[in-house]
A and B are shown apart, each in its own frame.
Chain A
Amino acid sequence: MLFKLAFYSLINRKTTVLLTIASIAISLAIALSVEHIRQQAKNSFTSTLSGTDLIVGARSGRINLLLYSVFRMGNATNNISWQSYQKIAQQKGVSWTIPLSLGDSHKSYRVLGTTQDYFTYYRYGKKQLLRFDKGAAFNSVYDVVLGAEVANKLGYQLGQKIVLSHGMADVSFTQHDDKPFTVTGILKATGTPVDQTLHISLAGMEAIHIDWQNGAPIGGLKIDAATALTKDLTPQNITAFLLGLDNKIMTFRLQRKINEYKGEPLLAILPGVALSELWQIMGAVEKILALIAALVMLASLLGMTTMMLATLSQRQREIAVLRATGASAGFIFCLVELEILLITFVGIIMGVALLWLLMIFAQPLIMDYYGILLSSNPLSSNIGFYVLIIFLLTSLLACVPSWFAYRQSLSKGLMNRE
């Protein structure tokens, strides 16, 4: 009876009710998508790197080291000598290391010089290893492995020859065009900066710079690709390296040891700590977004409450008829409350559906522009919790018009002629 009355009463006022539902659905979709993107971005961000115990670079800022070693942003102020790297890598308890050598680029994508260990030990997300979409790791000096986005955006195929540029300029004046690289592998998309990186061997990195000094070609000296292979291609320096331990308990001890390393000024950071520190810098924006979304939601809920309150005076006779036929004041309270909850319920369902659609459309765009892999299923995160909170908040807000209706049905009699 109660449900039937509430249902038909809402159908009877379908224009206002539909508009209210639309306003709730839209604001909910906005609020939840902000929340969803925020969470996904945070997840994607903090899971850029996993399984690595320490990141080691030349002494500079912690955030700076993190930015250039993991996110390929900015530049290193200094390098680590190959000797120091070797010394630390051979410490007891060190399970693996991945040297990183940065500085060159290809069409504004960074080139990373590393070893094959990169494909064996580098982990991201939930300790996932990199996987090849096509081909395999680099084997010879002039091989290159492309990140998913690089291959995709530039349309490169296996076996294609590409030329790397020196430095980071979009259109570099200095090309390493005497030593072209062959694509031997393309990685699967990870949603991390790996997708935007070209990977070559340290030897390859050394080879293209063999006739260079201090960042410029040595005048008159030209060593072609074939002769370069005959030279010693052991690097002098690397930019940074990632390090994994046999036992995590060692982490802090080794970190202190590296930070106090006498040979040269080094800095070791814990990637998890640095990542959350970096995320906190963006935290203010994130909080403002969440606040705006919450306020939009609140405004639409208040709008609905106002709508219900406004219709009460129109419904005075209707309530009188119900009271006359035996409805209690409590019944009137429940009727108004139920009507609001029904509106909210439908609004929430529409809102989540809208969010879902929105995510399906936004997912490829966000992946393209920001390299953040969103899960298109918004229901998987703790959105159920937010929906529950909204529902509870609504039932509280609904008490206002319901209480008015209740008071009205008690104090105003059935026979009241104005």
Chain B
Amino acid sequence: MGSTFQEVHLKNRFKEYFQTNATTLKFKANTPKQAIPKRNLKSMTEKTVIAIEDLSFSWTTKQSIGSKKRNPIKPILDIPQWKIRPGQSIFLYGQSGSGKSTLLNLISGILQPQQGTITIGEQTISDIKPSQRDCFRAKNLGIIFQQFNLIPYLSVTDNIRLSQNFSGAEYNHQRLLDLTKRLGLSENILQQKANHLSVGQQQRVAVIRALYHRPKLIIADEPTSALDAETRDEFIQLLLEQNTEENNKEKSSILFVSHDKSLASHFDQQIDINDLNKAKG
């Protein structure tokens, strides 16, 4: 299993190499690269929910067994600058292997960039300790995965309360009931074990969990890929609507990631990851 996984990875990187190379060539030809000042004044004052500067990430290999020193392989991501304003919904498009999963892992603070900064709201996440980063994630991010969103052996309520538990925030039962109602779920599923729910119900519970703690940013990673075409648009509508229904002050930004371009029209802004990522071999 491990070997096939690695093969896929290598293949992906190979593909990526050529793609990114092509875009950089284009970039070089059309617009001469200008020096981007690191954290200029404008970017400090402007309100952003994600601000990425000079970001570079590559997988590393150990020099030799037991050695602490690591050699970078080729870079996967190289993003000079990217900003998302609060309250926007962003559709991030990219085929598999284009580095979008890596980008999401970096934004959520699971992986660390070799270079550059990622700022969520006012917090530059590479500046803080790993444990603080985990707490920050619990407070400020809501993450929806493509399928496996809930801990199967916990009740729906316990699943929704996970990030509240990890961040140490106070439990707001009324908010949980409100969200349940708004998402069209009946109250009596709250005590059920998550694995007794249908896939559709599970995705709705995942939305409740993502919205519950009013995060700055909701990251949705192909949340519709397990749903059929009909329920897919319905689900995106629901996610966006529910987000809009929140008070404007607390409205979360949504970063929706997919390889399915047909979903793009639902969102405020559409971005192709290849336009962001300048990584070359």
Residues of A within 8 A of B (CB): 1, 4-5, 8-9, 11-12, 313, 317-318, 320-331, 410, 413-418
Q: In chain B, residues 136-171, which have Cβ atoms closer than 8 Å to a Cβ of chain A?
A: 137-139, 141, 143, 145-146, 148-154, 158, 162-163, 165-167
CA distance A331 to B145 in the complex (A): 21
Select A321's contact among B110, B130, B141, B149, beta carbons within 8 Å. Answer: B149
CA distance A96 to B232 in the complex (A): 100
Contacts of B111 in A (CB 8 A): 413
Q: Does B190 contact A (CB under 8 A)?
A: no
Select A324's contact among B143, B152, B153, beta carbons within 8 Å. Answer: B143
Instruction: Check A325 against B143 for contact (C-beta < 8 Å).
Output: yes
Contacts of B143 in A (CB 8 A): 324-325, 414
- Closest A residue to B103 by beta carbon equals A415
| Closest Cβ–Cβ distance, residue B134 to chain A (whole Å) | 4
Select A5's contact among B101, B102, B134, B151, beta carbons within 8 Å. Answer: B151
What's the dominant secondary structure at chain B's contact region?
Answer: helix
Residues of B within 8 A of A (CB): 1, 5, 8, 96, 101-102, 104-105, 108, 110-111, 130-131, 134-135, 137-139, 141, 143, 145-146, 148-154, 158, 162-163, 165-167, 209, 221
- Closest B residue to A328 by beta carbon equals B134
Instruction: Check A321 against B145 for contact (C-beta < 8 Å).
Output: yes
Instruction: Check B145 against A324 for contact (C-beta < 8 Å).
Output: yes
- Name, among B1, B8, B153, the residue most crowded by chain A CB atoms within 10 Å (CB to CB): B153
Select A328's contact among B96, B108, B131, beta carbons within 8 Å. Answer: B131
| Closest Cβ–Cβ distance, residue A96 to chain B (whole Å) | 72
**With A4-B158, A321-B151 as given contacts, are A413 and B101 in contact (CB-CB < 8 Å)?**
yes
**With A1-B165, A415-B145, A418-B8 as given contacts, are A321 and B102 in contact (CB-CB < 8 Å)?**
no
Select A415's contact among B104, B153, B158, B162, beta carbons within 8 Å. Answer: B104
Instruction: Check A9 against B131 for contact (C-beta < 8 Å).
Output: no
Contacts of B131 in A (CB 8 A): 328, 330
8 A-B pairs with least C-beta separation: A326-B138, A413-B105, A326-B166, A12-B153, A325-B162, A317-B148, A415-B101, A324-B143
CA distance A327 to B135 in the complex (A): 8
**With A8-B153, A324-B143 as given contacts, are A417 and B104 in contact (CB-CB < 8 Å)?**
no
Contacts of A322 in B (CB 8 A): 151, 162
| Closest Cβ–Cβ distance, residue A212 to chain B (whole Å) | 84
* A-B CB contact pairs (8 Å), 29 listed: A1-B166, A5-B151, A313-B1, A317-B145, A318-B148, A318-B151, A320-B145, A321-B149, A321-B150, A321-B151, A323-B134, A324-B141, A324-B143, A325-B137, A325-B162, A326-B138, A327-B134, A327-B162, A327-B166, A328-B130, A328-B134, A329-B134, A330-B131, A413-B101, A413-B102, A413-B110, A414-B143, A415-B145, A417-B146
Instruction: Check B101 against A417 for contact (C-beta < 8 Å).
Output: yes
- Name, among A1, A4, A318, A326, the residue most crowded by chain B CB atoms within 10 Å (CB to CB): A326
| Closest Cβ–Cβ distance, residue A407 to chain B (whole Å) | 13
Select B138's contact among A4, A11, A325, A413, beta carbons within 8 Å. Answer: A325
| Closest Cβ–Cβ distance, residue B143 to chain A (whole Å) | 4
CA distance A416 to B145 in the complex (A): 10
Contacts of B101 in A (CB 8 A): 413, 415-417
Contacts of A323 in B (CB 8 A): 110, 134
Contacts of A318 in B (CB 8 A): 148, 151-152
Contacts of B150 in A (CB 8 A): 321
Instruction: Check A329 against B166 for contact (C-beta < 8 Å).
Output: no
CA distance A4 to B159 in the complex (A): 12
CA distance A413 to B9 in the complex (A): 14
- Closest A residue to B144 by beta carbon equals A324
Select B105's contact among A1, A4, A313, A415, beta carbons within 8 Å. Answer: A415
Instruction: Check B154 against A8 for contact (C-beta < 8 Å).
Output: yes
- Name, among B1, B139, B162, the residue most crowded by chain A CB atoms within 10 Å (CB to CB): B162
Q: A328-B135, A329-B134 are in contact. List 17 more A-B contacts (CB 8 A).
A: A318-B148, A321-B145, A321-B148, A323-B134, A326-B162, A327-B166, A328-B130, A413-B101, A413-B104, A413-B105, A413-B108, A414-B108, A415-B104, A415-B105, A416-B101, A417-B96, A418-B5
